Chains A and B, each alone.
Chain A
């Protein structure tokens, strides 16, 4: 039987107690799995990741991580909190949020240092992620001097340096050029092959097949409306269109005026 890392039962959350962000979500995430969470804007994807990272706790229902319920009590337990933070890493949607230190190097080593990893081990991890993500030349730079693609890579590096067992990613490829997107997907696939569990919230449907073996689709009612393997979800164009994940695009195919649904991220020729 697979080892269950996260288990959500009827988990609901609302901001300020009156703006629902997540409604009665049931979800199980197993060790080593690749999970994608897709949905239109404002469907609760980021809220789900914050909940999985114990940054917020459900108003109703429950969330369990590694067999323990995530709540304020668990959060205030210093031992559990340290172990949890060393096992789960969240890459935020906005890298400027995540890169708060003066230099790339300080940002990468921030996590391990707070988790009281020995200095010699911190240095080894820094060298490893800097080499793997090709960041060695950027280590002494300030985050404000980086391009958006570089910032995203550094944000991922800052979480990988923790060596988490679960990697939560909020829109890891949003707004990136094709080569940087490819680099990031390769990094994520390599991490998953080495045993890291991936949970990715994304709009980029063209990366979903590579970074997931299960897709959960969130609807505007802020709950999971469909769960299936990526090939099944992506082949159901009517479903994707109905839930604002692809759009109708009108253009000419040679002399024929045609209209069909597609994702905007996919490069195609007419």
Chain B
């Protein structure tokens, strides 16, 4: 009998995503510098910092922005170990597959720094390759850190609201919010269904039987979601929805928001000037 734990693993993955999301919302609900910022300003400022990282060709500047991100995390009541864990666990995986090969002469020719021999093959590590890989790695690390910082300190619905500054229609923003809302509901239903199956059948299911149960669950969930879609539409109609959605625009930027954005803009302009116009 084949190991049939793939259902459980997938479900537990989805459930842990749910828990993480709830946990992330807890960070966003805490009092801190970034949590208090207007989400539009925050997104614009983080975007400017990410662009600064991407345009910069000097590790020192990128390191400086990383330091800024750590200071921002500290000022936003985010546990530094948790923050570093979130970014450093992901980035090395990325680095192994993308960055490490670029250090070799095959991809980046240049001045030889070291030679690695594997059997009859020898690979040259180049100075230019190492420099390029370092820049690339640090850019990824800092960009990911900034994005993690943004997602940790901003509630998901506030991020969705920001889409409206890009003139995304309100109905689209609301639909996205509803999708997010109901994903959690359906994850709960899937988990309950799986628990019910497990309580009756245990783990001892054949792979074929497991696949049948998954197919059946997908069909049942589809039917439920279809029925719920009609009910949600009725609930919207009942509260006055008439084809056009109206949302309260309650985002307000203050002096501190403007100063924060100004700081990010100064960093961006400084890096652009140093990289492209000085010397």
Contact = CB atoms under 8 A, between A and B. Distances in A.
Answer yes or no: are A and B bound together in one complex: yes
Contacts of B156: 102
A55 to B, nearest CB: 5
Nearest to B228: A97
A218 B134 CA distance: 75
A89 B240 CA distance: 10
Nearest to A116: B246
A144 B248 CA distance: 21
B181 interface: yes
B231 A89 contact: no
Contacts of B234: 50, 55, 92, 97
Interface string A118-147: 010010000000000000000010111100
B38 interface: no
Given A100-B236, A106-B157, A119-B248, A114 B242 contact: yes
Interface in A83-106: 85-86, 89-90, 92, 94, 96-103, 106
A225 interface: no
Interface residues of A, number: 38
- Looking at chain A's contact residues, the main secondary structure is helix
B240 A97 contact: no
Contacts of A158: 239
A142 B160 CA distance: 14
Given A102-B160, A109-B248, A144 B184 contact: yes
A156 interface: no
A162 interface: yes
A81 B243 CA distance: 12
Interface string A141-174: 0111100000000000011001000000000000
What band does the interface of chain B fall in when counting residues whose beta carbon is under 8 Å from A?
20 to 34
Contacts of A81: 242
Contacts of A89: 238-239
A184 B246 CA distance: 29
Nearest to B237: A55
B178 interface: yes
B81 interface: no
A97 B232 contact: yes
Given A101-B178, A140-B29, A94 B231 contact: yes
A191 interface: no
Contacts of B157: 102-103, 106, 142
A78 interface: yes
A195 to B, nearest CB: 20
A78 B228 CA distance: 26
Given A90-B238, A114-B246, 15 more contacts: A82-B240, A96-B228, A97-B235, A100-B182, A100-B232, A101-B181, A102-B178, A102-B180, A106-B157, A110-B236, A111-B239, A113-B247, A113-B248, A114-B242, A144-B185
